[in-house]
Structure 1
């Protein structure tokens, strides 16, 4: 929802308070999110504390809570930011078939530039297998959405005769997810031994008739 004045449409959040103050607040929130990425990636969610995050940005814990109401809210914002970046890179809300799968190769290539983000995902996804973890439902929903999105892409290719005979689209989707997650762990342990985009492209060439390149 936006508010309109004359010919100008302005999001409500940008109308409350001076432009400079809003920009300063957003910059501070971005700084906190970056620090949270680093803390949670190294220590995990359970061991990484708000105090650790606050110290990285020169705030008291109370000052940090002015921007994020709780540790859970901070984690949610960190995960949401990662998902927004992933969707933008893969164009997964509108792309279909080979275009969407090619976006997964692009995503793997991008991930090689953000090792802290990859580490964060690996640590949190493992921790969140426990039902009491605050990100448990988030990761269940994320895997369900990712699996459905990739199954749709492989189904599109199957309809065009581009999926290898005998391979169900759902199985191809699960295999691709498992490959991407496993490659991330191997890459974190030894960056030089794993070429993630090349490995994913190679898998896609095996299960489809298209010439994906990493």
Structure 2
């Protein structure tokens, strides 16, 4: 039993090493510029060792993208309890994600490879990116709708437009920052969320 548990822990640790190596190489060299052999070398194992955990390079990229999102959402504590209007918590998360993007450019570049690297990333990565953006936008729109129904924000707010504005701003500003890291992407995102906090609650009793 102990041996089985040790083997599971060893396998999980090795898988983590592979993901970390792949994340770095994909971010630095792109998908097509990264080979499984290079990932294996960076992880300190053989190519067959990588394939033992991931059946293909595409499967590895899929796992890396999922890990990227998990790390980002864990870092900003998406599921933690909060007080006050739900829309304020949603805007706080947008601010936190901008901070997280700046703090870890490697992870950020990884996700934007899928979003903007059309000549490099496989179809699976574009599908992942489109679904991720769609889900994020829908979740934000749902929060705006619920907050409006609860009287926490103005009733005339266009939830879909507000959600699209936030997702577009965070995505676009992050891409600009990846191209020129002298730009203060975090300050720009915070300016937008502060404006929304004031405007959305202006006629809702706050």
In the superposition, the TM-score normalised over structure 1's length comes to 0.79
Does the Cα contact within 8 Å between 1:151 and 1:169 map onto a contact in 2? yes
Residues 110-148 of structure 1, C-alpha deviations (whole Å, 9 max, x = no match): 222211011111122123599961223222221211110
Secondary structure at 2:124's aligned position in 1? coil
Structure 2 residue aligned with 1:201, among 190, 196, 201? 190
Say which structure is richer in helix. Answer: 2
Aligned to 2:78: 91
Distance verdict in 2 for CA 1:74–1:53, change over 3 Å? same
Distance verdict in 2 for CA 1:204–1:38, change over 3 Å? same
In the superposition, the TM-score normalised over structure 2's length comes to 0.81
Deviation at 1:62, TM superposition (A): 1.2
Deviation at 1:47, TM superposition (A): 2.5
When the two chains are superposed, the root-mean-square deviation of aligned CA atoms in Å is 2.8
1:187 aligns with 2:152: no
Deviation at 1:94, TM superposition (A): 8.1
Distance verdict in 2 for CA 1:90–1:178, change over 3 Å? farther
Does the Cα contact within 8 Å between 2:21 and 2:39 map onto a contact in 1? yes
1:168 aligns with 2:182: no
Rounded Cα–Cα distance in structure 2 between residues aligned with 1:156 and 1:112: 30
Number of equivalences = 195
1:7-86 → structure 2 map (5 Å cutoff):
17-86=3-72
Greater mean deviation of Cα atoms: 33-42 or 78-87: 78-87
